Chain A
């Protein structure tokens, strides 16, 4: 069963038209991450939440915002997408497993590929 779900998998938006990408998890992990990955490059961290504490990377453009209304869901809002924002957006989670041993685990979502026309 998928544990980190991203919707949609493919998103096309127009230049300047706000778009929201979503990520949900069934793991009850306390940390959630959003990454941007452009072609042939390593994923770049945009921000992450430690529980409700929001941590923004210094070079994340103001155009990118995030919301985490509860443990399970996290949203990436791009207020005015430009052509340079076309990329794969990856969500990841980390935390302790629910089992007795509570081992550290980490999972990645399948990504949302954003196209800006």
Chain B
């Protein structure tokens, strides 16, 4: 079992829909990251969380430390949001463990 699990693996939605991507982890962490990667591109850090909730524009990230679960939400989704969204955690040994990513495709 992977230490970081994401769901769904693939998601296709219509423009304007509210998107939720989930991440569960099984190790002790010092931080959780949500990352975005466009096809063939590098990684862009969206959020780093250790508790609570953060918002940036149309993106919202939440984390529940007790349940070892985080969600990334996109409101009013747009085709330019199409990308792979990766959940990653930094464990107690300072290693970053990546989930396999969620491939999001927003249709116009």
Contacts and interface: CB of A to CB of B under 8 A. Distances in A.
A59 B41 CA distance: 25
B99 A111 contact: no
A41 B99 CA distance: 9
Q: Does more than half of chain B's interface fall in helix, strand or loop, or is it mixed?
A: strand
A110 B38 CA distance: 11
Which 6 residue pairs are nearest across A and B when measured between Cβ atoms?
A110-B42, A111-B42, A42-B98, A108-B43, A42-B100, A43-B98
B44 interface: yes
A33 B93 CA distance: 13
B94 A90 contact: no
Nearest to A108: B43
> Among the interface residues A48, A88, A106, which one has the most CB atoms of the partner chain B within 10 A?
A106
B94 A31 contact: yes
Interface in A21-49: 31, 33, 35, 41-43, 45, 48
A62 B41 CA distance: 27
Interface residues of A, number: 23
B104 interface: no
Interface of B: 30-31, 33, 35, 40-45, 48, 50, 86, 90, 94-96, 98-101
B39 to A, nearest CB: 10
B41 A42 contact: no
A48 B30 CA distance: 17
A94 B94 contact: yes
B41 to A, nearest CB: 7
28 contacts: A31-B94, A33-B96, A35-B96, A42-B98, A42-B99, A42-B100, A43-B43, A43-B98, A45-B95, A45-B96, A48-B94, A48-B95, A50-B94, A88-B40, A88-B42, A90-B42, A90-B43, A104-B50, A106-B45, A106-B48, A106-B90, A106-B96, A107-B45, A108-B42, A110-B42, A110-B43, A111-B41, A111-B42
Contact of A108 (B30, B45, B90): B45
